[in-house]
Structure 1
Amino acid sequence: MKIDFAPPDVPLSRRLQTAAVMQWVFSFLALAPCCILLFFVLLFTRFWLVSVLYAGWWFVDWDTPSRGGRRVNFLCNLSVWYHMRDYFPVRLVKTVDLDSRKNYIFGFHPHGILVAGAFTNFCTLSTGFSTLYPGLTPYLLMLPLWFRAPFFRDYIMFAGLVPSDKETASYVLQQPEGGKVVVIAVGGAPEALDARPGAYTLLLANKKGFVKLAMEHGTPLVPVFSFGENEVFNQVDNPRGTWLRWVQERLQRIMGISLPLFHARGVFQYSFGLMPFRKPIHTVVGKPIPVERKERPSDEELNELHERYMSELSELFEEHKGHYGVPEDKHLTFV
């Protein structure tokens, strides 16, 4: 295989962008295991007190992730995130104003491989969320498993990440002052197994938990589609029914995380590696769907709202796809 090396005269701005994305990919894929290893290794060194003191802090702070976490706007506004934004680049597109006196549930689609659009738009200030939607604070839901990793849990809480369980989402949505946005990558980890360039398959047909959550709290639902999310990585072919897909789905059920075999480019060459391609990501936030509060919605009411949500998401996709290079004959598929 011929390797396409990066030219030696790459501008400093692009090198900084690459470095920013490289640390993000590392954080996503390897930082949690490194933090766990560090915690136990320190116990057998002269710095053992660090782990002991942290364990005490961890015990006292155990419930913080499910109580909205500990977002630090200063860290969300570091220059590294602006370099990451410009690498792809990532853009947040507003379609209507949102009332800061209300809470909202954003349904984010598609999940993609590493949820680059969701992280950049809702966990950093680099794309202007706070300017476009003044008075609103986003909370991106992440697998609860990662909040059991020492040190790493604090790192992701600083970015506004919270566990993806009903208790946490309900706590955020119950805040009476409003201005809270729960961001849910509805397809979750299983949807990542379908993420590849040109794919518009969403794991949504039987995903109704977020709709029920909205009805129980009377929270408006806002469909969000991130054009380009699936374009930044290639994935090994794994159609449903193959042995590879069977293994991946079985591991996902056991571990709670999916293991897509993805690849793209490297740091100093463009032929292979785990760095995403420089492809634009445009995250379009649609209009809110009013939701009447029903603590115990019937199946009929739940299905009706779910159908409306899918319809609104499809309309959002169809309305904007022409602006972002999606062929006219491409449509969303719900499975």
Structure 2
Amino acid sequence: MVTGGSHHLSASSLRKRLSSLAQAPSLNTGIEFVPAKIPRKRRLQMLAVACWSCILSITCCVFFWLCSFPPLWPFLAMYWIWINYIDKAPEKGQRIQQWVRRSVFWKYFAEYYPVSIMKEVDLPADRPYVFGYHPHGIIGMGALVTFATEATGFSESFPGITPHLLTLASNFKVPFYRDILMALGIYSVSKASCSNILKSGPGSSITIVVGGAAESLSAHPGTVDLTLRKRLGFIKVAIQHGADLVPVFSFGENDIFEQMPNEKGTTVYTLQKHFQSIFGFTLPLFHGRGLLNYNLGLMPYRRRIVVIIGRPIHVKQHDKPTTEEVREVQGKYIAELTRIWDTYKDEFAKARLRELEIID
């Protein structure tokens, strides 16, 4: 009972008041939380994606944690000198570890989206190959699963071909992270690296995510805007080494994250391009889902990714190809990539907002 004259409430009135409060609608936060009961397999899939999403931060933290132990300083100093001045493995395509590529970890990782591959033709292992991967997306998860792991069965689909996914050379300056990348068959995208790998013999191959940082800014769900017309380097490399060009199109790559609007002329776009000009890569402002909710966080959404590996474009080896030769091959490449889109878009891109567009 509350004292104070007019503030007196009877027991029956209090019960009615509490009952009405209990029946009132709860506050809608707009966040869709994950239910408590989730199958163990789905939790393992989420854990695999979460671990890889944080792997760069984890390896950096481990290295700095080890630096807190003075007895380890001589070993860490030698390791630092080794990765910065001595070790040339990222330029030579060495140190692939098949047990790492075939780990069950990647099986759960691929099943999260899920990621699958579809090959259109067999690729004989009597020649080198240059795979061009499109679109870049925010991070390129489909490229990672397809060419840096065996989760989708690349080696079974293309026996005798050794894949090497290429990335920025700066990634190989990060302690421990670099070693994980090389174990997966991920190496530097430098010209020297491309040459060393393609010269290693028949069946050697490199995969280049052609659009790069610039294309990641155009990665919005329901759209496919490719940065391709000015990208001639990978075609020139293929001609110089007599490597067949294989266009690869990934349906769903742009759908696993939502990105902040960043059309040309906006402040966001200007800042991102300025950042790219300084560091060589950019930071798209994106979001996905969280560990415990479905619509707020930095985890990718569970959206299907289908990687179509198209028909190879045979090129004649030429040490010094002319611009006309490169442009001619590029025309064939773009035509084949467009054919893949037109063939499968109604099956794997039903929710598209517009057609494929080559913007640059």
TM-score, length-scaled by structure 2: 0.88
1:45-76 CA-to-partner distances (Å, cap 9, x unmatched) read 33223303423543685111101131101011
Q: Write the mapping of 1:201-280 to structure 2, written as runs, cut at 5 A.
A: 201-280=225-304
1 CA distance for matches of 2:274 and 2:357? 23
Matched length: 331
TM-score by length of 1: 0.94
Q: Deviations over 1:164-206 (max 9, x none)?
A: 1111001111123x11110000001221111110111000011
Q: Which residue of 1 aligns with 2:155?
A: 130
Long gaps (5+) in structure 1: none
State the alpha-carbon separation in 1 of the partners of residues 73 and 177 from structure 2.
18
1:306 aligned counterpart, secondary structure: helix
Whichever residue aligns with residue 311 of structure 2, its letter is: K
**Cα deviation digits, residues 228-272 of structure 1 (max 9, x gap):** 000000000001111110100110111112100110100011120
* Equivalent residue number for residue 88 of structure 1: 113
CA distance in 1, matches of 2:65, 2:335: 48
Q: Which structure has the bigger radius of gyration?
A: 2
Relative to structure 1, is the Cα distance of residues 100 and 192 closer, same or farther in structure 2, using a 3 angstrom cutoff? same
CA contact (8 A) 1:35 1:152 kept: no
Instruction: Give, as a single letter, the amino acid of the residue that structure 2 aligns with 1:90.
Output: V
Equivalents in 2 of 1:155, 1:45: separation in Å?
25
**Letter in structure 1 aligned against 2:61:** C
Match status 1:9 vs 2:37: yes
What secondary structure is seen at the aligned counterpart in 1 of 2:175? coil
Q: Could you say if the C-alpha distance between residues 33 and 196 of structure 1 is closer, same or farther in structure 2, counting changes exceeding 3 Å?
A: farther
Superposition deviation, residue 33 in structure 1: 4.2
Are 1:286 and 2:310 counterparts? yes
CA contact (8 A) 1:94 1:285 kept: yes
CA distance in 2, matches of 1:93, 1:161: 22
Q: How big is the shift at 1:31?
A: 4.1
The CA deviation string for residues 10-31 of structure 1, in whole angstroms up to 9 with x for no partner, is 0100000000000111125x34
1:184 aligns with 2:208: yes
- Aligned AA for 1:111? H
- CA displacement, residues 63-109 of structure 1 (integer Å, 9 cap, x when unaligned): 11101131101011111100011100000111100011111000000
Aligned-residue CA RMSD in angstroms? 1.7
**1:34 pairs with 2:61:** yes
Displacement of 1:333? 0.9
Larger deviation, residues 266-275 vs 51-60: 51-60
Does the Cα contact within 8 Å between 1:111 and 1:186 map onto a contact in 2?
yes
Of the three residues 21, 24, 43, the one matched with 2:52 is 24
Assess if the C-alpha contact under 8 Å between 2:84 and 2:173 holds in 1.
Answer: no
Q: Percent identity?
A: 38
SS in 1 for 2:187: strand
Q: Is the CA contact (8 Å cut-off) linking 1:32 and 1:146 kept in structure 2?
A: no
> CA distance change for structure 1 residues 61 and 158 in 2, over 3 Å: closer, same or farther?
farther
Q: 1:204 and 1:294, CA in 2 relative to 1: closer, same or farther beyond 3 A?
A: same
**Which residue identity lines up with residue 292 of structure 1 in the other structure?**
K
For 2:301 and 2:80, the matched residues in 1 are separated by 39
